[in-house]
Amino acid sequence: MAKLLVLYKTPSDAAAFDKYYAETHIAIAKKIPGLRHFEVSRGPVATPAGPSGVHLVATLTFDDASAIQAAFGSPEGQAAAADVGKFATGGVDMFIYETANV
């Protein structure tokens, strides 16, 4: 399996971010082809030392890294990527990686 880890940094208006993400972005992202699982953090995102600058973590699971690349080359994937700019006012970091059970 492979994951796309999305770290949304603290937005200028957290309530507006949360509303848009829940009511609009999730539905757009769920249309991405090849998406196997989609989960988001709930509540504050902290570090072992305390608060972080991250507002929300989204983890999207695909069969492999090439499936992620293909997914974001599709019209649905491009729509999801373009939508991020509409609400992620604090910025966003995205990471793609393969996983292994240990």
CATH number at residue 30: 3.30.70.100
Average pLDDT score over residue span 75-80: 97
Which pLDDT belongs to residue 14? 96
User: Average pLDDT, whole number, for the chain?
Assistant: 97
Give this prediction's pTM: 0.94
Average pLDDT score over residue span 45-70: 97
List the one residue out of 45, 58, 65, 51 whose CA is nearest residue 87. 58
Which pLDDT belongs to residue 36? 98
SS (H, E, C) 25-84: HHHHHCCCCCCCEEEECCCCCEECCEECCEEEEEEEEECCHHHHHHHHHCHHHHHHHHHH
Dist CA 34 CA 3 (whole Å): 12
Range of the domain at 52: 2-98
Work out how many domains the chain is built from and give that number.
1
